């Protein structure tokens, strides 16, 4: 038990330590002994210095997060092609719409990431999260059926985000 607490004190954020050390090595384009030692020292010191500024991250389900990553990546690729066709084609075929996506939770990580995913998917932009109303205002470049678009956003992105953060009903943290 003492060994774990010593490690936790020495390396408060192991992931940050690895990122700092690897960044040093990549920036120096070197794996010489001196650079490896400096990388290790920086990987131990910098996370310790910034520890007060790093908020504890919630426990997440990585397998669902990885699946969601690939769903979003696929949707971005497909949406890029669709938007390119729409923009390069006749503008009379565009049906821009504003609609609101009701949120299932007030969990800030879920809602913020949902808004970010909506914005990064070409053809849609989240204009803002309305905490009072419990929804996200979305603008779609072309949308003939807002209800279907809302359902797709909820099923493809919101449901997995809720599962990733293991949000329970009424959870707002």
User: Do 124 and 85 share a domain, yes or no?
Assistant: yes
48 part of a folded domain: yes
88-107 pLDDT tens trace: 988 888 899 999 999 999 89
Residue 18 has pLDDT above 70, yes or no: yes
How many domains would you assign to the chain?
2
* Host domain of residue 150: 62-164
Q: How far apart are CA 77 and CA 121, in angstroms?
A: 8
Same structural domain for residues 66 and 49? no
Q: Is the pLDDT of residue 166 over 80?
A: yes
Among residues of the chain, what percentage have pLDDT more than 90? Answer: 57
- Tell me whether residue 76 is in a domain: yes
User: In the chain, how long is the greatest CA-to-CA distance?
Assistant: 70
Residue 173 lies in a domain: no
The answer on 153 and 113 residing in a single domain is yes
- Whether residue 76 is found in the same domain as residue 143: yes
**Average pLDDT over the chain, rounded to whole?**
88
Asked if residue 69 and residue 8 are part of one domain, the reply reads no
pTM for the predicted model, two decimal places? 0.69
Q: Give the closest residue to 82 by CA, choosing from 122, 118, 28.
A: 122
Domain co-membership, 12 together with 40: yes
Strand order in the sheet with 97-102: 97-102, 135-140, 124-130
User: What's the distance, CA 169 to chain centroid?
Assistant: 21
Q: Which of 35, 53, 71 is the last residue of a domain?
A: 53
Residue 170 lies in a domain: no
Cα separation, 17 vs 8, in Å, equals 12
- Cβ–Cβ < 8 Å for 113, 141: no
CB atoms within 10 A of CB 13: 19
Q: Are residues 136 and 77 in the same domain?
A: yes
* Residues 111, 41 share a domain: no
Q: Is residue 172 part of a domain?
A: no
Q: What pLDDT, in 10s, does the model give residues 115-132?
A: 999 999 999 988 889 888
- What CA–CA distance (Å, rounded) separates 73 from 117? 10
pLDDT per residue over 48-60, tens digit each? 888 888 776 677 8
Question: Three-class SS of residue 30?
Answer: coil
pLDDT reading at 24 higher than 60? yes
Alpha carbons 156 and 117: distance in angstroms, whole number: 10
Do 132 and 73 fall into the same domain? yes
Could you give the CA distance from residue 123 to residue 80 in angstroms, rounded to a whole number?
Answer: 8
DSSP code of residue 53: G
Looking at the domain assignment, is residue 92 inside a domain? yes
| 108 and 151 inside one domain | yes
């Amino acid at each position: 038990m003492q060994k774990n607490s010593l490690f936790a004190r020495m390396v408060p954020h192991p992931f940050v330590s690895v990122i700092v050390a690897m960044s040093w090595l990549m920036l120096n384009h070197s794996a010489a002994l001196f650079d490896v030692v400096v990388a290790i020292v920086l990987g131990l010191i910098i996370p310790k210095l910034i520890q007060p500024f790093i908020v504890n991250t919630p426990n997440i389900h990585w397998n669902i997060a990885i699946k969601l990553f690939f769903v979003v990546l696929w949707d971005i690729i497909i949406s890029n092609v669709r938007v390119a066709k729409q923009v390069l084609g006749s503008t009379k075929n565009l049906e821009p719409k504003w609609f609101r996506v009701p949120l299932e939770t007030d969990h800030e990580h879920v809602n913020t990431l949902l808004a970010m995913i909506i914005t990064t998917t070409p053809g849609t932009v989240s204009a803002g999260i309305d905490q009072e109303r419990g929804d996200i205002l979305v603008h779609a470049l072309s949308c003939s059926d807002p209800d279907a678009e809302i359902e797709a956003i909820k099923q493809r992105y919101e449901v997995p985000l809720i599962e990733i953060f293991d949000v329970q009903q009424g959870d707002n943290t």
